[in-house]
Structure 1
Amino acid sequence: MRIGLLGTGPWARAAHAPALAAHREVEFTGVWGRRPEAAGELAALHGTRAYDDVDALLADVDAVAVALPPSVQAELAVRAARAGRHLLLDKPLATTVAGARAVADAVREAEVASVVFFTTRFQSATEAWIAEQAARGGWFTARAEWLGAVFTGDSPYAASPWRREKGALWDVGPHALSVLMPVLGDVTRVRAAGRGPGDTVHGVLEHEGGASSTVTLSLTAPVAAAGVGVEFRGESGVAVLPRASEGVVEAFGRAVDALAGAVGAPSSAGRGFACDARFGLRVTEVLAEVEGALGARG
């Protein structure tokens, strides 16, 4: 599979580009970015070609990996899908329901494969744990805490305009939902939402089947308090999310494998909570509901 990269920022440099360059079963065809000089630098670092024109890159590939702000990703994902290119996207799919639905609709209409890179779902230890809890069932409640120090520590993502505008809800909220929803089922209602220090958000969710969950999300946690914790409680006791066994490059390589496996698969294969554009749309809808609840509370 010939695959091109759209984006040249810190996440593209840390995860996408090294994973594509190292993957033995794809051809890393080239890089396009909104800053041509950055595209040239990243392409040279990984022995591939820099493209000045995104349509020229689309003409030379079978698929694209996207590492761009959500609003830019959504627009280019629709364009790529309509050109018949398979999509390896990042979370959130978009920061509006309309934008995410446009991507999901374009994927369906063009009959292309799609994978959304929810990191925890592509790390082998956590992926297996999520599948185990989903199969076990009988869960009563859960809590998910995704606390980052992006704006309080020394993070390369602190200058990201979209993260500063949309905050933790849209940056790490998708990660929390990508773990909770496969185990507890779809979110049927946002029961409550409130704000904490900085960009911290608290939410209470109701899931199909009657289970409830709480989420705490932040990018402004003190460095010493940052971390991830997910816990399910139910008929079989307590289950705690294990530490990831792999870094982001290895996880992104597994996402590339998933995209390759989805190419040519029946359209029904990605239903439910598989990490495709439809699931990315559903996550966006839930986040928008939480955002609406926060707005209603002022």
Structure 2
Amino acid sequence: MRIGLLGTGPWARAAHAPALAGHPGVEFAGVWGRHPEAAAELAGGYGVRAYPDVDALLADVEAVAVALPPSAQAELAVRAARAGRHLLLDKPLALGVTEARAVAEAAERAQVASVVFFTTRFQKEPEAWIEEQAAEAGWFTARAQWLGSVFTSDSPFAASAWRREKGALWDVGPHALSVLLPVLGDVRQVLSAVHGPADTVHLVLDHATGASSTLTLSLSAPPSAAGADVELRGESGVTLLPRSSEGAVPALARAVDALTAAARTGRRHACDAAFGLRVTEILAAAQARLGEQAD
């Protein structure tokens, strides 16, 4: 599969480009970016082509990997799907339900494969743990804390305009939901959403299995307090999400595997654009509850 990269920012450089270049099952075809100089620099580092416009790249590949802000991702994902290109997308799928639905519908209409890269879902130990817990019944409640220090450290993502505007709910909230939903079932209702310090939010969710979950999400935690933890409690006892032994690049390589498998077999992956849409709907509902609090 020939796959092109859309985007040249920190995430494209740190994860997407090395994962695509090092993957034995795909051909890294080239890079397009909104800043041609950055695209040329990134492409040159891997000996691939820098495309002058996105349509030129789409005409030359079978799939695209998108490492762009969510608003740009949604628009270009629709464009790529309409061109018949398979989609490796990032979270959140979009910053609004309408935009996310447009991506999911375009992928469905064009019958192209789609995978949204929720990092934890593609890391070896967490992935196995999620599958194991999803097979268990009788979960009573869950607690998830996803605490980043993006805004309190020298993180390359601190200058991200959409993260500054949307905060932790939309950045790390998708990660927490991607772990909880396959285990506890869909969210029937956002019971509570309140603000904490800085961009921190606290959510209480009601799930289809009857379980409830509480989420604490932040990009403003002190670096010494940052980290992600998920605890499940139920009839089988208490269990914790294991730490991953690997970083983003091997996980992204597994997402590429998932995309190629979905394209080859026609079977949808659990983290496809439709799942990305559902996560966006839950985030939008939580955002609405936060707005009610502000009023």
Partner of 1:71: 71
Partner of 1:137: 137
Partner of 1:176: 176
Alpha-carbon separation, structure 1, partners of 2:12 and 2:136: 36
Alpha-carbon separation, structure 1, partners of 2:192 and 2:213: 11
For residue 157 of structure 2, what is the amino acid of its counterpart? Y
For residue 273 of structure 2, what is the amino acid of its counterpart? A
The reply on whether 1:296 has 2:295 as its aligned counterpart is no
The reply on whether 1:237 has 2:233 as its aligned counterpart is no
Partner of 1:191: 191
Partner of 1:107: 107
For residue 179 of structure 2, what is the amino acid of its counterpart? V
**CA offset at residue 154 of structure 1?**
1.1
Alpha-carbon separation, structure 2, partners of 1:265 and 1:188: 32
For residue 231 of structure 2, what is the amino acid of its counterpart? E
Alpha-carbon separation, structure 1, partners of 2:216 and 2:226: 12
Superposition misfits of 4+ residues, deviation over 3 angstroms: none
Please report the RMSD computed on the Cα atoms of aligned residues, expressed in angstroms. Answer: 0.7
Partner of 2:11: 11
Alpha-carbon separation, structure 1, partners of 2:178 and 2:209: 18
Find the residue that maps to 1:263 and give its secondary structure: helix
- The TM-score, its normalising length taken from structure 1, stands at 0.98
Q: Is the CA contact (8 Å cut-off) linking 2:113 and 2:266 kept in structure 1?
A: no
For residue 292 of structure 1, what is the amino acid of its counterpart? A
Alpha-carbon separation, structure 2, partners of 1:137 and 1:176: 20
Find the residue that maps to 1:75 and give its secondary structure: helix
Q: Is the CA contact (8 Å cut-off) linking 2:97 and 2:281 kept in structure 1?
A: yes
The reply on whether 1:286 has 2:282 as its aligned counterpart is yes
Partner of 1:248: 248
**CA offset at residue 245 of structure 1?**
1.7
Partner of 1:40: 40
Q: Is the CA contact (8 Å cut-off) linking 2:184 and 2:208 kept in structure 1?
A: yes
For residue 186 of structure 1, what is the amino acid of its counterpart? D
Identity of aligned pairs, percent?
Answer: 73
**CA offset at residue 265 of structure 1?**
2.8
- Residue deviations 1:143-202 (CA, integer Å, cap 9, x gap): 100000000011000000010001000000000000000000000000001000000000
Partner of 1:122: 122
Residues 278 and 294 (structure 1), Cα distance of their counterparts in 2 relative to 1, 3 Å cut? same
Find the residue that maps to 1:105 and give its secondary structure: helix
Q: How does 1:239-278 map to 2 (within 5 A)?
A: 239-266=239-266, 269-270=268-269, 274-278=270-274
**CA offset at residue 113 of structure 1?**
0.2
Provide structure 2 residue ranges, at least 5 long, that are not aligned to the other structure.
Answer: none
The reply on whether 1:219 has 2:215 as its aligned counterpart is no
The reply on whether 1:206 has 2:206 as its aligned counterpart is yes
**CA offset at residue 264 of structure 1?**
3.8
- Residue deviations 1:269-293 (CA, integer Å, cap 9, x gap): 44xxx10000000000000000000
Find the residue that maps to 1:286 and give its secondary structure: helix
For residue 159 of structure 2, what is the amino acid of its counterpart? A
Alpha-carbon separation, structure 1, partners of 2:209 and 2:223: 37
The reply on whether 1:162 has 2:162 as its aligned counterpart is yes
Alpha-carbon separation, structure 1, partners of 2:263 and 2:57: 20
Partner of 2:27: 27
Alpha-carbon separation, structure 2, partners of 1:209 and 1:284: 20
For residue 189 of structure 1, what is the amino acid of its counterpart? Q
Find the residue that maps to 1:136 and give its secondary structure: coil
Alpha-carbon separation, structure 1, partners of 2:225 and 2:46: 36
Alpha-carbon separation, structure 2, partners of 1:264 and 1:242: 31
Alpha-carbon separation, structure 2, partners of 1:107 and 1:59: 17
Partner of 1:58: 58
- Residue deviations 1:200-248 (CA, integer Å, cap 9, x gap): 0000000002100000000000111100000000000001000012110
Alpha-carbon separation, structure 2, partners of 1:136 and 1:175: 21
Find the residue that maps to 1:204 and give its secondary structure: strand
Alpha-carbon separation, structure 2, partners of 1:178 and 1:139: 17
